[in-house]
Chain A
Amino acid sequence: MEQKTKAYEKIFLILVFAFFYLPILYVVFFSFNSSKSLTTFTGFSLQWYEKMFKNRTIMESIWYTTSCAVIATVVSTIVGTVTAIGLSKSRKAFREAINQVNNLPLLNPDIVTAIGFMLLFTSLRIRTGFTTMVLAHIAFCIPYVILSIMPKLRTLDPNLAEAALDLGCTPLQALWKVIIPQIMPGIISGALIAFSMSFDDFVISLFTTGPGVNNISIYVYANVKRVNPTINALSAIIVYVITIVLIIVNVVPMIKERNKKKNEQLQNA
């Protein structure tokens, strides 16, 4: 595919990237505004960051978002891994049936999944709040975890686990020492997907949470009507964190690779 890019193609790409990054830079820029205005910049100030850290509702929403994402990730990763391993040893028809059921939350619009949970919780007379939100997050994260582990299990050599059993491992040991380490990349990517799905969720949280329990998305949704520059500061902080995390995730392997090459060269020399 490698070809020379023409000038108009470069301009096209630059325009697309401007479209992607302009609003983000705009919010970050105006998070330092000294006045309340979102259109005129009157001077540099950190007051909105200060106000944000003093705002209890925002701090609570950050806490709820993070703790919900952590619990949902841990539970859905464990349940998803166990289920995926079980599924790989099940009969084909059964496996297909479970996969069909798992496809429902993936193919349904979020709002349909969300009202399903809401109807379920209220008709069982479970009071909505943090617990119901976490339960819903676990439920929509598990299919993603299973989906990212299944391909790894399919390429797994079934003889390895058999060999472990023949050599005197208990089934549990075979699972822990032979199967799990081999599907680890799938488990990790499943956990990452679960975390980001849960952390960014808005629609399902909105319908399954109860009074007083907001995540970041719900807070932004509820407070966006009034001019509220603390949301700029909150958005800017999210942008900083994600940029730093993505840089670390992408740069660290590159540095490791470079060091490895350097070491190899040293050893060869």
Chain B
Amino acid sequence: MKSFSKMVYPYVVWAVAMIVLPMLMIVLYAFTVKGNSVLTFQFTFDNFIRFFSDPVFPGVLWRSLKLAVITTVLCILIGYPSAYIIAKLKPNSQALMILLITLPTWINMLVRTYAWRGILGHMDMSGEMKVYIGMLYNFLPFMILQIYTSLSKIDPNLIVAAHDLGANNRETFRRVILPLSLSGVVSGITLVFLPAVSSFFIPKLLGGGQYVLIGNLIEDYFISTGDWNFGSAISLIMAIIILISMYITRKLDRPVADEEVD
């Protein structure tokens, strides 16, 4: 049986070449400047200094974070009640509703975003507003599905017990349902915030070109400008910010997990 463990070796080689190496390349490029050949590698912070001393770039980063946070909050505010109402339906209607929410997510994201162009063309609103609608449209299903999953796992007896012990609906929700569904909200945040920070085609398709986010900067520096070193530095900054926010989000879920252990 131990001989089966050898079956991993080819993948180890592959994972080093296709996962670890590309990440190291980004770091390597981020800490070197253009024209620097890999052989005469010279470590520098120039790209990072350039980013943060620029009059425009820190603002773009701030705008992307703001957009991602607001999108995530909107997804929770609309997604939680939706998931909650669905979880209260009869099992058959629940299955149908979940299928109806899953269906649009199977359609290509580009096509889904493109679909809004016609409708939004009728409307007189700012590019920013259109980007928010596009973001909400793309990410809301993931939030609903995550919260619904955690809500549907709650043992109905717990709710009955809360009522028997004298809790009214509001108290039952606040002290039983909400804490137990928090893990769904947290995984929903991961699924929404992460792609929302780095999104670049939604602003490009709906924002009318003036609305630039950090993802658009990375795309521009790699595809149009060809300054890969600076582009790598921007993506490294973004990746670090995402890591920190994920760490904070996971902390939110901790208290609930600890209570369960007790």
Which residue numbers of A lie inside 8 Å of B, CB to CB?
1-3, 5, 9, 12-13, 16-17, 19-24, 26-27, 30, 38-39, 79, 82-83, 85-91, 94, 98, 101-102, 104-105, 107-113, 115-120, 123, 135-136, 139, 142, 158, 161-162, 165, 171, 175, 196, 199-200, 202-203, 206-207, 216-217, 220-221, 224, 231-232, 234-235, 238-239, 242-243, 246, 250
Distance in angstroms from A147 CB to nearest chain B CB is: 14
Interface centre among B12, B19, B81, B87 (most CB of A within 10 A): B19
Which residue numbers of B lie inside 8 Å of A, CB to CB?
1-12, 14-15, 17-23, 25-26, 29, 38, 78, 81-82, 85-91, 97, 99-104, 106-112, 114-119, 121-122, 137, 140-141, 151-152, 154, 156, 159, 194-195, 197-198, 200-201, 204-205, 215, 218-219, 222-223, 228, 231-232, 235, 238-239, 242, 246
Main SS of chain B's interface residues? Answer: helix
The reply to whether B110 and A221 contact each other, CB–CB distance below 8 Å, is yes
The reply to whether B119 and A26 contact each other, CB–CB distance below 8 Å, is yes
The reply to whether A235 and B114 contact each other, CB–CB distance below 8 Å, is yes
Distance in angstroms from B127 CB to nearest chain A CB is: 15
**Besides the contacts A79-B14, A202-B108, A246-B106, what 17 more A-B pairs have beta carbons closer than 8 Å?**
A2-B90, A5-B89, A20-B101, A23-B112, A82-B11, A89-B7, A104-B23, A111-B235, A115-B235, A117-B18, A135-B18, A200-B108, A220-B108, A220-B111, A221-B201, A224-B205, A238-B107
Query: Considering only CB atoms, which chain A residue lies closest to B25 in the complex?
Result: A119
Residues of A within 8 A of B111 (CB): 27, 216, 220, 234-235, 238
Main SS of chain A's interface residues? Answer: helix
Kindly identify which residue among A3, A112, A217 contacts B238, using a CB–CB cutoff of 8 Å.
A112
The reply to whether B114 and A1 contact each other, CB–CB distance below 8 Å, is no
Kindly identify which residue among A86, A91, A119, A165 contacts B6, using a CB–CB cutoff of 8 Å.
A86
Cα separation A165 to B152 with both chains bound (whole Å): 42
The reply to whether B5 and A23 contact each other, CB–CB distance below 8 Å, is no
Query: Considering only CB atoms, which chain A residue lies closest to B86 in the complex?
Result: A13
Distance in angstroms from B237 CB to nearest chain A CB is: 11
Query: Considering only CB atoms, which chain B residue lies closest to A138 in the complex?
Result: B18
The reply to whether B122 and A111 contact each other, CB–CB distance below 8 Å, is no
The reply to whether A13 and B82 contact each other, CB–CB distance below 8 Å, is yes
The reply to whether B85 and A9 contact each other, CB–CB distance below 8 Å, is yes
| 10 A-B contacts (beta carbon < 8 Å) | A5-B85, A27-B115, A86-B11, A87-B8, A89-B2, A115-B26, A120-B21, A217-B108, A220-B110, A246-B106
Residues of A within 8 A of B194 (CB): 107, 109
Kindly identify which residue among A110, A119, A196 contacts B228, using a CB–CB cutoff of 8 Å.
A119
Cα separation A123 to B122 with both chains bound (whole Å): 47
Distance in angstroms from B225 CB to nearest chain A CB is: 13
Residues of B within 8 A of A202 (CB): 108-110, 201
Residues of B within 8 A of A17 (CB): 100
Distance in angstroms from B1 CB to nearest chain A CB is: 6
Distance in angstroms from B28 CB to nearest chain A CB is: 8
Enumerate the 8 nearest inter-chain pairs by beta-carbon distance, A residue then B residue, closest first. Answer: A116-B22, A86-B7, A109-B198, A86-B8, A23-B115, A139-B18, A83-B11, A119-B25
Given A16-B82, A120-B22, A1 and B110 touching (CB < 8 A)?
A: no
Given A12-B82, A13-B82, A98-B15, A112 and B4 touching (CB < 8 A)?
A: no
The reply to whether B85 and A1 contact each other, CB–CB distance below 8 Å, is no
Kindly identify which residue among B22, B87, B115 contacts A26, using a CB–CB cutoff of 8 Å.
B115
The reply to whether B118 and A38 contact each other, CB–CB distance below 8 Å, is yes
Distance in angstroms from A15 CB to nearest chain B CB is: 9
Given A98-B8, A109-B197, A1 and B239 touching (CB < 8 A)?
A: no
Kindly identify which residue among A1, A98, A199 contacts B156, using a CB–CB cutoff of 8 Å.
A1
The reply to whether A162 and B1 contact each other, CB–CB distance below 8 Å, is yes
Residues of B within 8 A of A38 (CB): 117-118, 121
The reply to whether A79 and B8 contact each other, CB–CB distance below 8 Å, is no
Kindly identify which residue among A5, A119, A246 contacts B26, using a CB–CB cutoff of 8 Å.
A119
